[in-house]
Structure 1
């Protein structure tokens, strides 16, 4: 039996992990034990190894990366009364740990003057620190990665070794590195583009002769993709040519594949605010060589049916952040106490400013045949609008930091053909902050004010209604506003809402949430009758985005005593 056991362990080292024979490492911490086991599992079948030599070798190789070079190993086979081996005890005295002396470094080239390189050098362990092979490999890897990121493609280590003296218990790094010249951006060539090259060149985020930077290089691909003109963007650099150039000028080739001329998207969903709804959209991502695009979309639900056309005209100087949008649409709504049939046309220019804000200047024409409560009217209005908006965030689908802001003013006047005069002001802001990886705090507020001497002719879409998922949870969607003598909603001329929410990471992609909302829609800024709601919910980071489920109840309102359920997709910003 003994000969059979030794033969089996020699030829089949994985049998050491079988249910009937276990290995116990004594004298090693969890980190060392885990690495030793990993080395043992990697051993190949080799008749030259006995089971004892195999274990001793695994121990030595497993603890050496942590600075233990002179261990003492004892192996005991634990047997049952029958004489069969039931377990193996590997008793290890790792010995004294190797410590580092001053490194021998010869680092040359312009890369060594970069701030990022200085930060990497500062991470080199000081003399007297315990030896860790991972520190040595990590430093070399960080230098090589930094060289690739900043364009030092000729950089190399002419000497790299870790000198260890087990008898003296010391070690030192011996490295010689020369970064060589930094490469520069050269000419950019576009192939197979259906869009005029002038539009593409305005997207290039670098100039010829500018030092290479990986992030800047990647920005070109990102911007080309964001235009929605191309199905694929493949970039390559002419290294062979650049290495023959003393100035190391690196030309870039961009191979483009035009996107399909027609894109159709369909969707069916359910939102607690408006119930079931279906969507259908048709997009021409590019209509001509100027990059114009067209989208037609419809969104249908039992209480709202909407059709919209959007024609986009990008500027040649900056197609992504400076463009015109021509829109037209029709909407029919029977929500709450509203019956509205409206047609709208607008022309707007969007510009991303250097400050990070997006400025929108638009002129809208709206004709609405509506009944709102006891108000009925056929109203035509023409109103220019100026708005500024900005969104900043970190953290992806579930932001851990960020804010979004939007401020707008619209003006209507009979002097230019409107049926009524008004001034409309709106403002809204949301912010997200986190405390550690498990705590997220969300705040939100909004306010609006429309001043008009003919409020009974103001279309419902320009009046203020609050309540629902994005304003005051605990109430139905847009169910809060002034009411007429019959108890019908008329919409307010003034509005404000505030909300606070706390989210906690329960486990993995699941978060819990508690929240409190408050606000009002009225004809005066009346703080004596504030509507309030509170509740709790869950958040799930799903493959399709953030899924939200909330349960809320009105606070201090005897007319609203039932719990409301809200289900939706999307984050706080």
Structure 2
């Protein structure tokens, strides 16, 4: 008898401990999608289950009793005001099961939407468009988030159009749960429209006339806070200043003009740059630069660049002049000398160049006139060629590619170049050259993306032997057809030396998967060749690799196989630096 009492006492003492240690599992049936996610986010029991904590039985039952009220509150933003909830809390091995079956019931529908504008801005086209685009219409299922988004968007459009005093005189979402009906009523009082006043640059380190060219608005334009932010970013990107502060002043009560003051602190006049990298194609890469940020008050800039690598040695002097619209219009002057030596060719280039660049949205247009004297050897061709080359370039930058490990956005670029020379017009040879190149990342989910890359080129000339190697086409290497040595693909002479081609075709698909944080794995297939005639055989390379994003750039390691070569030899490609 005493033994049974002792056992009962021990069991009684252990029961609270077991209840304390027990976990809880929550099961919700009858809901899907955003509605289910919102219920799970609002339900205290679900939060407890996710935490992995072991509650007391009393605490667990308290949260269980609260659950139906929390489920109803989570359903209402989606228009469900009459749910039927069946709940059970049952013990099971290792813990508890909280089971909820939810029938959300009929949904509240919007029966009337009355969104109106009052005041001086009631006829403003942008505001009228925001009224028409209100995200709830009669007959729609009620969504509180859409009501909130539409209300905020209309007010934001008013602010951006210069109506700084815009306020809602009426903002009501009327819900009749018994009839499952909802009515939206909004009345926006716009108030007066404010406009930009004068922009001043007190104590500016550069000529105010130059700085005025960076202002993206004119006096009298509707006041928009976003344009002040754009002005600040534009001035910061010039590199002239270490500090930029754009301050709107008090509005004039009669004209409703808002003056703007821009306070600028000059950056140190000298800027130094050092860049390091490595590639299987180039060997080491070293770039050293010095730049005088401003010469005088007109924003002229001068710099020297030294670039060294296993295949290239160059030095350039550069001079940059902001033109009448300095935000989008620049003149660049350059002079330099360089030597480039690879397994297939070598050249010494002396050049003078004038280039005008204009930015049009995300397109950058550049027209250049370049004088060159090139002493070269490629295959059996050698000599010195003088060239005067007009060149036209367009390139378009899209939004930056998503970083590894994030929800990827598409990112990349496309570039087009046309260059020509005419014999007798300060050139020793006539040619016309076109290239088109592009690359783009396509998102395939949170951890995956696809890099699509391609390049096409054509060269027309009647005297190919006088064309320097920089204007011929070669293929093979880290950024071309992997599995083949750098510039090892192309037409060959009788002695087997690569001489370069008149046509270029390259295409690449590379699938990337995030393995860990900033580390990605890659599978790729490259196809291409430099040829004299379209239709000549293309070469294929394929393999796998790793990409590791570092603070200084991206480290890449590829094991590539030359599929078009007998025996399918393999080759390692190693790169360190910015991705092209």
Secondary structure at the aligned position of 1:101 is classed as strand
Matched, 1:394 2:398: yes
Show the counterpart of 1:68: 80
Of residues 534-543 and 259-268 in structure 1, the stretch that sits farther from structure 2 once superposed is 534-543
Matches within 5 A, 1:271-310: 271-310=279-318
Partners of 2:381 and 2:344 in 1: CA distance? 10
- Residue in 2 that maps onto 1:229: 240
1:198 aligns with 2:204: no
Match of 2:506 among 478, 483, 499: 499
Following TM superposition, by how much is the alpha carbon of 1:228 offset from its aligned partner in structure 2, in angstroms? 2.1
Task: Say if 1:374 and 1:403 are closer, same or farther in 2 by CA, change over 3 A.
Answer: closer
Deviations 1:7-37 (A, max 9, x none): x9xxxxxxx9985344444555464454344
Distance 1:159 1:224, change over 3 A: same
Distance in 1 of aligned mates of 2:359 and 2:64: 71
CA distance in 2, matches of 1:505, 1:297: 35
TM-aligned CA deviation for residue 350 of structure 1: 0.8
- The residue number in structure 2 matching 1:12 is none
Q: 1:19 to 1:217 in 2, by over 3 A?
A: farther
Please say if 1:99 is aligned against 2:109: yes
Mapped partners of 1:287, 1:131: distance in 2: 62
Going from structure 1 to structure 2, the CA distance change for 1:275 and 1:432 (only over 3 Å counts) comes to closer
| SS state at 2:223 partner | coil
Distance of 1:361 and 1:116 partners within structure 2: 45
Change (3 A) 1:127 1:324: closer
Q: Which blocks of at least 5 consecutive residues in structure 2 are unaligned?
A: 1-8, 48-58, 403-409
**Secondary structure at the counterpart of residue 138 of structure 2:** coil
Q: Deviations over 1:187-222 (max 9, x none)?
A: 111244322111111222222112234554444334
- How far apart in 2 are the matches of 1:362 and 1:17? 81
Alpha carbons 1:431, 1:442 under 8 Å: kept: yes
Match of 2:322 in 1: 314
Q: Are the structure 2 counterparts of residues 302 and 19 from structure 1 closer, same or farther at C-alpha, using a change threshold of 3 Å?
A: farther
Seen in structure 2, the aligned counterparts of structure 1 residues 309 and 537 have a Cα distance that, compared at 3 Å, is: farther
1:476 to 467, 480, 485: 485
Distance 2:82 2:535 in 1: 79
Residue 406 of structure 2 aligns with which residue? none
Range 427-436 or range 121-130, more displaced: 427-436
Name whichever of 152-161 and 125-134 sits farther off.
125-134
**Aligned position for 2:428:** 421
Contact 2:64 2:89 in 1 (8 A): no
Contact 2:328 2:358 in 1 (8 A): yes
CA distance in 2, matches of 1:267, 1:93: 63
Query: For the residues of structure 2 that align with 1:571 and 1:67, how far apart are their CA atoms?
Result: 49
Counterpart check, 1:38 vs 2:41: yes
Cα 1:320–1:221 shift into 2, 3 Å: same
How does 1:532-547 map onto structure 2 within 5 Å? 532-536=539-543, 542=549
SS of 2:38's equivalent? helix
* Root mean square deviation of aligned Cα: 4.1
How far apart, in 1, do the equivalents of 2:132 and 2:245 lie? 35
Residue in structure 2 matched with residue 350 of structure 1 by the alignment: 356
Deviations 1:295-322 (A, max 9, x none): 222222233322222122222x123544
Change in Cα spacing, 1:207 to 1:552, as seen in structure 2 (3 Å) is same
Distance 1:422 1:171 in 2: 78
Structure 1 stretches lacking a partner, 5+ long: 9-15
Q: Give the TM-score, by structure 1 length.
A: 0.78
5 Å matches for 1:2-401?
20-25=23-28, 28-29=31-32, 31-41=34-44, 51=63, 54-71=66-83, 76-79=88-91, 86-90=96-100, 92=102, 94-109=104-119, 110=121, 113-115=124-126, 117-119=128-130, 121-213=132-224, 216-238=227-249, 240-242=250-252, 244-245=253-254, 247-315=255-323, 317-340=324-347, 342=348, 344-352=350-358, 358-366=365-373, 368=375, 372-373=378-379, 377=383, 379=384, 381=386, 383-397=387-401, 399=410
Q: What TM-score, normalized to structure 2?
A: 0.78
Once the two structures are overlaid, the 10-residue window that deviates more, 261-270 or 460-469, is: 460-469
Report the secondary structure of 1:336's partner residue. Answer: coil
Shift of 1:132: 1.9
Rounded to whole Å, the distance in 2 between the matches of 1:556 and 1:28 is 55
Residues 17/336 of structure 1: CA separation in 2 closer, same or farther (3 Å cut) = farther
Q: Distance in 1 between matches of 2:233 and 2:91?
A: 65
The worse-fitting range, judged by mean Cα deviation, of 325-334 and 271-280 is 325-334
Deviation at 1:248, TM superposition (A): 2.4
Deviation at 1:541, TM superposition (A): 9.0
2 CA distance for matches of 1:335 and 1:129? 68
- Partners of 1:267 and 1:278 within 8 A in 2: yes
Q: Aligned to 1:102, what secondary structure does the other structure show?
A: strand
C-alpha displacement of 1:77:
4.2
Q: Is the 8 A contact 1:499 1:515 kept in 2?
A: no
| Alpha-carbon spacing, 1:449–1:59, altered in 2? closer, same or farther (3 Å) | same
Is the Cα contact below 8 Å between 1:475 and 1:533 reproduced in 2? no
